[in-house]
Amino acid sequence: MDILLEAHSGLRWIVVLAGLLLLVWTAIVWLTKREDDALTSRLFAAYNAALGIQFVLGLLYFILDGAQGAGYPLYRIEHFITLLIAIAVAGIGGRWRGAVLNVRARNIFLTTLVSLILIYVGVARVPAGWSM
C-alpha cells in the first residue's frame, strides 16, 4: 500500500508542474495574442493526462487503504471530492477547442487556475498536506 501512496504523492509534483506550465503558456498566448495552438493543445493534454493518472492512483489508494482498516475519515472524503472537482474544472477547458485562440487560451488559463487552487486546497486537507 505504501508504494501506491508514494506514487500518488510523488505524481502531484508532475501535476503541479504541468499545470503551472500550462498556466504560464496560456497567459502568454492570451496576453500577446499569439497564434501557436499546437503547444497549447499539447500542454493541455499533458496536464489532463497527469490528472487522470493521479485520479486512478488516488482512487485505488482511497478504496484499498480504506477497506484495509484506515477507514474513510472526513478529511479523506473532502480530499477526494475537492480533487474530483478540480479534475472536472480542468477538463472544461477542452470545450473551447474550436474557439478563437485568444479566447481559448483565456478560458484554459482560467479553468487551469481554478483547478490548481482546488488542488492546493484539496492536498492541504490531508493531515501531512504539502509537506508529505
Q: Which domains does the chain have, with CATH numbers?
A: 2-131 (1.20.120)
pLDDT for residue 11 = 94
Average of per-residue pLDDT values in the chain: 91
pLDDT for residue 113 = 98
pLDDT for residue 102 = 82
Long-range contacts of 4-7 (CB under 8 A, 24+ apart): 4/57, 4/60, 4/61, 4/64, 4/65, 5/61, 5/65, 7/57
- pLDDT-derived band at 36, boundaries 50, 70, 90: low
Per-residue pLDDT of 2-13, as tens digits, reads 898 899 999 999
Q: Model pTM? A: 0.90
pLDDT for residue 5 = 87
